[in-house]
Chains A and B, each alone.
Chain A
Amino acid sequence: MSKDDKILKEFTSKEYEHGWSVDFDVDQAPIGLNEDIVRLISKKKEEPNWLLNWRLEAFSQFKKMKEPDWSNLNIPKINYQDISYYSAPKKKKMLKSMDEVDPELIKTFEKLGISLLEQKRLSGVAVDAVIDSVSIGTTFKDKLSELGIIFCSFSEAVKEHPHLVKKYLGTVVPSKDNYFSCLNSAVFSDGSFCYIPKGVRCPMELSTYFRINASNTGQFERTLIIADQGSYVSYLEGCTAPMRDENQLHAAVVEIHAEKDAEVKYSTVQNWYPGDKNGKGGIYNFVTKRGICFGNNSKISWTQVETGSAITWKYPSCILKGDNSIGEFYSVAVTNNYQQADTGTKMIHIGKNTKSKIISKGISAGFSQNSYRGHVNVIKRAKNSRNFSQCDSLLLGNTCGAHTFPYIDIENKSSMVEHEATTSKIGEDQIFYCLQRGIDEENAIALIVNGYAKEVLKQLPMEFSVEAQKLLSLTLEGSVG
């Protein structure tokens, strides 16, 4: 084994940190997927009729659809009848504030480094904590509501702000959009809802922390973010799951709606359990994220750091409908061991003078496969539009794979698209250079990888950025060639 392979091996063999689970009483739906389950979920959530019907329609559609097979993923057969579609920690009564949340749950999140007690929180971040299928609480709600900002669980939004939910739900990602969005529309259980009123600049980061705890369950949450005219919000999403030998399904939908002059920054640090060294277990992550720059001069920016999951299938996209609107996609996707990722973005230019930027950094190690898939579409009337795409792949070792699938359609002459792609390996020279300065192998790899991903990492809010850098190093611990 060469020196590099040895470093590679050590660096890639780090254990997953959030692999524990907690036993608390749960209210879980029976295993299986059928109309009764859809009705049961809706009933448990005390939903209005229109929403139940919306679900049922999605479900009847879902039954007619087939799993997508165009990705560069090897997806084992998933038995959708073998999953419980609803699991919630049992509540004693309706909660009025975070102080009433079961201390066990609060402890669970504290173990993850997320404090739900407001006095302990960094004052710059409000959190909605979602465990399995339900939100267990949202911090700083009162403070935000003084500004007219609504930040709550999806279920609560359905109850308290039905007109907003009804108006926007499914408008960016129609339930029929794809197999997984359709499944989600039928069985989604909770998620976060956020509305920023006209002209308001949200003073703190809003964040949702997703945790899958129960076994044999899937997590199907929805997030809906509405930024009204001239508003601004930065939104964060984090996720972890216990180590389990069986695969668990996570099929989420995120919709963002940006009105005129509004700006939404959406950042994700995805750290679902990736499975063990031999590829056993791990989360299947099939997520549909899409935002629409509805009004003129609006902007949506996606930043994602994807380190976890056994399989990642995810393409956060922007529909640039408003003139002069801007869509951005910054991504670092790290795969190790037997992980597979097929991720990228779609930028659909509809308005005039629209701009999009895609920076994708793939890092593959072990026996993993890492694909970038992107689609830039500039329609005829989107005059003077611009896209810049840069897709880089970094290989650690020679048993992994990196692939790039850029699709570009431009339907007018005044628009311009630039695409750059590179594939490189961490050089032995680079490592030796670091070693020679007294930096050990582990830190050398961390330094090089973080340097490589810097353009993306610097897009993250400060607190997340530090965490993400650590995570990159942890995920890759043991790997270079």
Chain B
Amino acid sequence: MTTAAARPPSALRIAARRYLPATLIFLGGIALWELIVIVFDIQGFLLPKPSRIASTFVEEFSVVVPAGWFTMKEAVGGFVIGAVAGVLIALTTARWTVVKDGLMPFAIAVNATPIIALAPIMNNWFGITNPMAKMAIVAVIVFFPVMINMVRGLTEIDTRQLELMRSYASTPRELLLKVRVPNALPYLFSALKVGTSLSVIAAIVSEYFGGSRDALGIYISQQAALFHFAEAWAAILVASFSGIIFYLIVTLIERAVMPWHSSIRNVAGT
């Protein structure tokens, strides 16, 4: 018997049910913001109305979007350098445990310090308008969590999984490729996902210390200094969008690389 109730819901309806609450909250939040600014008559330089930010965004499109592109190139470039270096160093620690014992305490200590404070120094090293100065900061900030998590993933393995490989008389190389690395992937991706927002923050904040005029951080700080807050907010909007897209891209890669993992199977199962 096929009744309407027994029919599986359409893909559209499933998507609607999943995304509806978030969409409603988002729209409600924007409406509330608009309302509060109007009702309490908040000055535009303190908090502009969302409608004002939107119209400024359209007016300034040809400036803020290229600036966002410029800054994202620094963020993504630094992210890739930091992540690749973090993974490579982690892999050498898996091979030589002395490296791990020598390096990890420092890595954990450095990771807990505000690396962004180095931004002015990097500006001096590389030249203030050189995007490498920003990329270097981003790379250092992404490097430490990636390396630390990767080392954990390579070493925190169920004893029995190691014993099984030993019972197959596997070589260290096979153990690395077939057990340690796959075991490390969830650790790696959780660091990479945190790294996406860290890298956008690091790129923008290091631009606050000076740099090329085409960059988002410079644009935001200059417009804010001129009390052009709608312009600053429009640029912040670009930064948020870029950050979210960056995060989503990494999430998509994660799903492609480890479709077996629990963080993904729960989504796929609903």
The finding on whether chains A and B are genuine partners in a shared complex, rather than unrelated, reads no
Residues of chain A whose beta carbon lies under 8 Å from any beta carbon of chain B: none
Residues of chain B whose beta carbon lies under 8 Å from any beta carbon of chain A: none
